[in-house]
Structure 1
Amino acid sequence: MQDEVKKDQQSTDSEWSLPESIIDGVLFRETKNIITGNGTTSEGYREDWNLHSDPIKQIIQVTLRPGAISAWHMHRLQKDHVFVILGTFKLAMYDGRPQSPTYQKLEVRNLSNLRPGALVIPPGIWHGFKNLSHQESIFINYFDRAYQYSDPDEYRLPPDTTEIPFTF
């Protein structure tokens, strides 16, 4: 049994701040839920957050069934801007950029509407999501480049690839 025991890594500090990304170029801007008389409101993006300098060209909504995995995925040109609007996801990111100072680093985060935030994933970062909720979970993804139907900037590996040292 002792061989199976693993000590937790630090996930926050005494101010309950979330850790900075360990992958170069990945940005996270935590927001807050505002409790209203009939629910909650939270901001998903503001230009003055300076998460990027490019205009937003397209927004999609992604829904995953309970326990579903969407992995692995990467863009060579566009940035992903992810904001969870319902549920909880495990997000794994792997730096596949040979020129990056964080090349081959792996980062795993839990993202949820309970502690909202906007996450920017730069080109060249492999990423995948798993829905940790017992219901459908939803995130929106806004892009600095519109989807090119005739020449998609979409590259994929299977969820069980041996190219990335992570299993969902």
Structure 2
Amino acid sequence: MIEGVVYKKCVKHCDDRGYFTELVRDDEELLEHFGQMSASLTYPGVIKAFHYHKKQDDIWYFPAGNAQVVLYDLREDSSTYRQTDVYYLGELNPGVLLIPKGIAHGYRVLGNEPAVIVYLTTKSYQPSDPDEYRIPYNDKEINFNWETQFK
């Protein structure tokens, strides 16, 4: 191998919703600073929502498939407190989405193909002290209708 080049084989963790793969972590000391880069495949129709973080920001990108991404502002000191935003991301509408700490987030896969999400975080996931707080996808306060609306 060329000096300084590092190859790391990735491990997929599979279940009946799809898979999850950690790509790069800050504790591997490959870069000077960042948290973690991961990828996940989710099957059509699956909803993965909601969760939020108190210490980390996320960046989301969907290189394959398409998703409806829903954000809900939990930050009491924010001018958009309790506001819901919806974004459509994926191969038909490529974009990168920065999700600050304190914003609940989740997504639903659209169409008949799986969606792949690649995401970066400012902190690595720590199983002994996870910075991940769950809210049900059908939470009454958020009150988001995940059904596709036909007009």
TM-score, L = length of structure 1: 0.65
In the alignment, structure 1 residue 64 sits paired with structure 2 residue 42: yes
* Residue aligning to 1:157: 135
Q: Does 1:93 align with 2:71?
A: yes
Give the one of 109, 124, 139 matched to 2:87: 109
- The residue that corresponds to 2:55 in the other structure is 77
Q: SS in structure 2 opposite 1:153? A: coil
Q: Which residues of 2 match residues 116-131 of structure 1 at below 5 A?
A: 116-131=94-109
More strand by share: 2
SS at match of 2:98: strand
- Report the RMSD for the aligned CA atoms in angstroms: 1.3
Q: Aligned pairs, how many?
A: 115
Q: Please state how far the C-alpha of 1:56 moved relative to its aligned partner.
A: 2.2
1:105 Cα shift? 0.7
- Superimposed CA distance per residue, residues 116-153 of structure 1 (whole angstroms, 9 cap, x where no aligned partner): 21110000001110000201110101111111110000
Letter in 2 for 1:65: Y
Q: What's 1:139 paired with?
A: 117
| Separation in structure 1 between the aligned mates of residue 75 and residue 61 of structure 2, nearest angstrom | 24
CA distance, structure 1, for counterparts of residue 33 and residue 100 of structure 2: 15
Same amino acid, percent of matched pairs: 37
- CA displacement at 1:60 relative to structure 2: 0.9
Runs of 4+ in 1 over 6 A off after TM superposition: none
TM-score by length of 2: 0.73
| 1:165 Cα deviation after fit | 2.5
What is the rounded CA distance, in whole Å, between the counterparts of 2:74 and 2:95 in structure 1?
A: 24
Gaps of 5+ in 2: 1-31, 147-151
